[in-house]
Amino acid sequence: MTGIYGAAVLVVLGYLIGALPFGLLVGRLVGGVDLREHGSGRIGATNALRTIGPAGAVLTFLLDLAKGVVAVLLVSWWYVAGPPGSPPWVAAAVGIAAVAGHIRSVFIGFRGGRGVATFAGAMLATAPWTVAIVVPVVLLIVWRWRFVSLGSLAGAALAPVVTAALVLIDQATWAGVALALGGAALVTVAHADNIDRLRAGTERRLGR
């Protein structure tokens, strides 16, 4: 694929990959349930954990993570030409499209998850040091306060900052920062109801 048309095709493919409703499939295969009818109604790993247990949640998380990785890697595999320096920016656009696909999947009536795992996968393929730095912070927050949503939101907020800092030491690119900004914005918007509950003190803690 080449040029702007090739980039556009890859962005569409990235969206479709992100839109694959793995959580829905895992819920049906592992627990015999439709995740959309339980808990938060989302098809991500957190709702899977609360609905079908740890094994299903881990499988859902890994599959959703893989969507982000594969979507970004499509560019290095298939985008063979374009303006100088364009592949990283195309990869960023494809990664953002994958996150959008996960949150609003065309395959299930534009419903989906909150995009965290797919965003992490896209960042892992683009700026792995960002993931290595942010994930421990997210885990610490979740462990300390027991709010998965709070950890996810903190990770989304940190990702662009950490990636920009890594650019200064040549461990990331500005295209990676763009991906981090776009993905973080989508993840934050997808957590709008969680933000309202956190403010109201009614958000559900992990393990309850």
Burial class, 192, CB count within 10 angstroms (exposed 0-12 / middle 13-18 / buried 19+): exposed
Residue 176 counted as domain residue: yes
User: Average per-residue pLDDT in the chain?
Assistant: 96
Residue 205 counted as domain residue: no
Residue 1 has what pLDDT?
Answer: 79
Question: What are the tens digits of pLDDT across the range 1-58?
Answer: 788 899 999 999 999 999 999 999 999 999 899 999 999 999 999 999 999 999 999 9
Number of domains, the chain: 1
Cβ-contact 171, 123 below 8 angstroms: no
Range of the domain at 90: 3-200
Q: Tell me the CA end-to-end span of the chain in Å, nearest whole number.
A: 49
Q: Is the pLDDT reported for residue 83 higher than 80?
A: no
Residue 17 counted as domain residue: yes
Residue 77 counted as domain residue: yes
Report helix, strand or coil for 2: strand
Q: Is the pLDDT reported for residue 108 higher than 70?
A: yes
Residue 98 counted as domain residue: yes
Rounded (5°) CA angle 19-113-129: 85
* pTM flag (> 0.75): yes
Residue 34 has what pLDDT?
Answer: 96
Selection from 102, 105, 123 nearest residue 114 by Cα: 102
- Of residues 31 and 91, more confidently modeled: 91
Task: For the beta carbon of residue 81, count every other beta carbon within 10 angstroms.
Answer: 10
Residue 185 counted as domain residue: yes
Residue 206 counted as domain residue: no
Residue 207 counted as domain residue: no
